[in-house]
Structure 1
Amino acid sequence: MQDVYVLDVLRTPIVGKNGKFKAIRPEVLGAEVVKSLVQRCGLTAVDGILGGNAVGTGGNITRLMALLAGLPEAVPACTVDMQCASAAAAMAMAYANVASGQGDVWIAGGMESSSLQPLRTYAPADERYKLVPDGNGEYYTAQFAPGDMAPDTMLRGAERVAAEEGVTRAELEAWALRSHARAAAAVKAGVLKDRIVPVQGWSKDDGIRPRMSQRLLSRLPLLLGEGTTLTAGTACCINDGAAFAVLASGDYVRRQGRRPLARIVGTAAVGGNPAQSPRGAMRTADVLLARLGWRYEDLQAIEFNEAFAVIDVLFKRAHPDCVVNYNRFGGALAYGHPYGASGAILLAHLVESLRAAGGGCGILSIAGAGGMGEAIALELVE
Structure 2
Amino acid sequence: MSRDPSSRPVVVAARRGPVGTAFHAFKDLTVEALAVPVVEAVARDVAPLGLPVEDVVLGNCTGPGGNVARICALAAGLGHGVPGVTVDRQCGSGLAAILLAGNAVAAGEMDLVVAGGVESASTAPLRTRRGTGVPYERAPFVPEGWPDPEMGPAAEALAAARGVSRERQDAYALLSHAKALAAREAGRFAQEIVTVGGRDDDQWPRPLRARSLARLPAAFVPGGTVTAGNSSPVSDGAAAVALVPESLRAELGLPGLRLLAGAVVGCDPALPGLGPVPAVLRVLERGGADLARVAAVEIVEAFAAQVLAVTDALGLDPLGADAERVCADGGALALGHPWGATGAVVVTRLFSRLVRRGAPAGTLGLATAAVGGGLGVAALFEVV
- 1: CA distance, partners of 2:303 / 2:294: 23
Counterpart in the other structure of 2:162: 165
| 8 Å contact kept, 1:87–1:109 | yes
| Percent of aligned pairs with the same amino acid | 35
Counterpart in the other structure of 1:80: 87
Counterpart in the other structure of 1:132: none
- 2: CA distance, partners of 1:200 / 1:314: 36
| 8 Å contact kept, 2:156–2:221 | no
Mapped pair 1:219 → 2:215: yes
Aligned-partner residue type, residue 105 of structure 1:
L
Determine helix, strand or coil for the equivalent of 1:366: strand
Report which stretch shifted further, 147-156 or 52-61.
147-156
Report which stretch shifted further, 295-304 or 225-234.
225-234
Counterpart in the other structure of 2:10: 5
Report which stretch shifted further, 141-150 or 156-165.
141-150
Determine helix, strand or coil for the equivalent of 2:327: coil
Mapped pair 1:26 → 2:40: no
| 8 Å contact kept, 2:21–2:203 | yes
Moved over 6 A (4+): 148-152
Counterpart in the other structure of 1:343: 343
Counterpart in the other structure of 2:183: 186
Match of 2:381 among 328, 353, 378: 378
- Displacement of 1:380 in angstroms is 1.5
Deviations for 1:224-260, whole angstroms, at most 9, x for unmatched residues?
24331110011110111100000001233245x2513
Deviations for 1:33-61, whole angstroms, at most 9, x for unmatched residues?
11111112115411111100011111111
Aligned-partner residue type, residue 68 of structure 1:
A
- Displacement of 1:352 in angstroms is 2.1
Structure 1 residues 19 and 149: alpha-carbon distance in aligned structure 2, compared to 1, 3 A threshold: farther
Unaligned runs of 5+ in 2: none
Counterpart in the other structure of 1:299: 294
Counterpart in the other structure of 1:177: 174
Paired positions, count: 369
Deviations for 1:179-221, whole angstroms, at most 9, x for unmatched residues?
0010111001111210000013210101101x20111111212
Determine helix, strand or coil for the equivalent of 2:174: helix
Deviations for 1:278-331, whole angstroms, at most 9, x for unmatched residues?
111233112211222212111110010010101222244332354431111111
Q: State the TM-score, normalized to the length of structure 1.
A: 0.92
Counterpart in the other structure of 2:330: 330
Q: CA RMSD in A?
A: 1.9
- Displacement of 1:147 in angstroms is 3.0
Match of 2:153 among 139, 151, 156: 156
Q: State the TM-score, normalized to the length of structure 2.
A: 0.91
Counterpart in the other structure of 2:56: 49
| 8 Å contact kept, 1:222–1:230 | yes
Aligned-partner residue type, residue 290 of structure 2:
R
Deviations for 1:45-86, whole angstroms, at most 9, x for unmatched residues?
111111000111111111111111111111111100000000
- 1: CA distance, partners of 2:381 / 2:182: 24
